[in-house]
Structure 1
């Protein structure tokens, strides 16, 4: 039976069913608007990545160095001086690392073909079960080629000039690096001016206090996370480099730097480091048993760092669950490539800290958290095997 409007002295009011239907329509409309906004944001980030990527990198670098700037300000050093010195030191570190690593990396790239041949020879006893499948694949490929009509011609698109493409990439990379360091310098030297501008955009005192609290909480948590994780990764890279040098691995500086850089990708970065070190060790040492010592040492270092060092130093409050980490790495690597993959977890931490300050966004923050906060409060801490982000 269809509900009829209820008459009253003030006029005709809607029935409860009509009000519920209107609320459902409003929720559906809100969901559609949010979905469209997310899609438009992703499209903007993809097509305008040349702008957004260096800007976000500059903010992350500024957040990493903010605790040092504030520490020096309390010692009487102005923000402009400390920010300039820190940015110049960062440029010097990146330039020195690039200069020291450029030679070995170029040699590895030039010798990639011989490395592949040597690896194939070392793994020859293990690939015999796959030879039949390879032969079948070659037969199918030959059959496909011979089955083409004689009058059909293949069309190949000639690649663009290598030099012009390389020059364009170098120019784009140089521009992005310049934007990163210059913008981070301005952000660090401005002190609290940027935060004051955010607070001034609100009208009531309650909104100003809440905005100021959120801004400082996000800045404190993210700067603590980025700075400590950067220090941990540099320590991990140093230990791995020294250990591989002691084992006799060639170019231990490259593998230590690679381990430090890839460790910004939880799980995925450690796996990539182990695989690359295992490949180089197999072609560098005479026996397979001794070659396995290098990847085993890397695995041991990753276990100690992931299960003991990072959870102790960073803290449990900023842990991210593995599912969210893999989704973020996959999304940002698709969006911005390798640089986006490196920024995936820091951006995920920013989102989590921001969501924790809003009640409407608390389900998102709870999903990103590695530990159960309300459903399972009495679960032993030893049952949580998730690595700190």
Structure 2
């Protein structure tokens, strides 16, 4: 009769440890499943980029134009009409920009060799520290050539058909652009149908309300960010183009469009624009002092835009951690190339806004958010003051 309580007491004593071990195993299993899911998602995005990339671009374009469609709907214009007009206007702007920029860009590509020679001649007085390194490299190359055995032949891989590769790339790009605009048209013209389908996938009224609130909040924040940043970048490109035109820079339209496009890449885009403008200015003007005016003007415009205009217009609510920005640009550029790098920051903003609406994802949202040193430094000072009181 006394053995039963002892056995039950032993099982009761062991049950908390067993439950803790089971919970630890469940957490480990869940972490493994999440890691495998992330790896499989990255692999799917990489190997199926021909499908996912235009779809992502279409969703981003839809979010950018959604505020305009809703504004026109309040003025009595149906979504189908406003969406069709906006998509046609986007196609027109894209086609005109491509036509105007194609000639100067092709000229720059064709003259890239002469540009490199002119830049080398202009920087000749400043390259003497590198001449020794260049001589060593030439000596190593000559040593490699002379050390070859007599019977060994070099194998050179001839490039595949350039025309066929170019035709394939043009066809792929045309297909992707068509998917982007057609899918954007359908998404914009559908109105609230997409949100109704999301709400209908939940059962309880509480879940429906929460899902609808999250969807509308995410859409409002992202559409505001994308539309505002697009307007800011176009304005920045216009100012830079006009300023470079006033300085006598060749092809100012190209550099204005380049500045507007690359400014979607924070930090990296501005640096690339400054370097490109510096190279062209050095070979275009007679004196180096006057040539440096062009990149100095670009630096001034970037500083004003990055430190004053964008924080004031967009607000600090959607500021992203610089480390997260660089990681996102590196990841998406590896995944989808230059187009992926352009989409890196908007996708990062989408992820941050989505994480802010779920308590379980708040650590990820906190990591993505920009951290202000003033707020961190004031908290310990305030705690010390309270402790002293």
Q: CA deviation at 1:69?
A: 0.1
Q: Secondary structure at the match of 1:152?
A: coil
User: Cα 1:203–1:244, aligned 2, differ >3 Å: closer, same or farther?
Assistant: same
Q: Distance in 1 between matches of 2:388 and 2:296?
A: 21
User: Cα 1:4–1:287, aligned 2, differ >3 Å: closer, same or farther?
Assistant: farther
| Pair 1:346 & 2:354 matched | no
RMSD value over aligned CA atoms?
5.1
Partner of 1:259: 259
User: Cα 1:139–1:297, aligned 2, differ >3 Å: closer, same or farther?
Assistant: same
TM-score by length of 2: 0.94
Q: Distance in 2 between matches of 1:332 and 1:163?
A: 28
TM-score by length of 1: 0.94
Q: CA deviation at 1:201?
A: 0.5
Q: Is the 8 A contact 1:233 1:264 kept in 2?
A: yes
User: Cα 1:365–1:384, aligned 2, differ >3 Å: closer, same or farther?
Assistant: farther
Q: Is the 8 A contact 1:240 1:298 kept in 2?
A: yes
Q: Distance in 2 between matches of 1:118 and 1:32?
A: 56
Partner of 1:379: 379
Alignment of 1:103-252 (within 5 A): 103-252=103-252
Q: Which has the larger displacement, 378-387 or 178-187?
A: 378-387
User: Cα 1:375–1:237, aligned 2, differ >3 Å: closer, same or farther?
Assistant: closer
Q: Distance in 1 between matches of 2:315 and 2:222?
A: 12
1:360-388 deviation digits (Å, cap 9, x = unpaired): 00000000000359972847999999999
User: Cα 1:299–1:383, aligned 2, differ >3 Å: closer, same or farther?
Assistant: farther
Q: Distance in 1 between matches of 2:382 and 2:268?
A: 23
Q: Is the 8 A contact 1:62 1:187 kept in 2?
A: yes
Q: Secondary structure at the match of 2:221?
A: helix
Q: CA deviation at 1:7?
A: 4.1
User: Cα 1:175–1:100, aligned 2, differ >3 Å: closer, same or farther?
Assistant: same
User: Cα 1:374–1:55, aligned 2, differ >3 Å: closer, same or farther?
Assistant: farther
List gaps (5 residues or longer) in structure 1: none
List gaps (5 residues or longer) in structure 2: none
User: Cα 1:214–1:166, aligned 2, differ >3 Å: closer, same or farther?
Assistant: same
User: Cα 1:159–1:17, aligned 2, differ >3 Å: closer, same or farther?
Assistant: same
User: Cα 1:84–1:5, aligned 2, differ >3 Å: closer, same or farther?
Assistant: farther
Q: CA deviation at 1:154?
A: 2.0
Q: Distance in 2 between matches of 1:176 and 1:142?
A: 47
User: Cα 1:236–1:93, aligned 2, differ >3 Å: closer, same or farther?
Assistant: same
- Name the one with the larger helix percent: 2
Q: Distance in 1 between matches of 2:266 and 2:5?
A: 59
User: Cα 1:33–1:325, aligned 2, differ >3 Å: closer, same or farther?
Assistant: same
Q: Number of paired residues?
A: 389
Q: Which has the larger displacement, 143-152 or 47-56?
A: 143-152
Alignment of 1:226-375 (within 5 A): 226-371=226-371
Q: CA deviation at 1:148?
A: 1.8
User: Cα 1:284–1:12, aligned 2, differ >3 Å: closer, same or farther?
Assistant: same
Q: Secondary structure at the match of 2:3?
A: coil
User: Cα 1:57–1:170, aligned 2, differ >3 Å: closer, same or farther?
Assistant: same
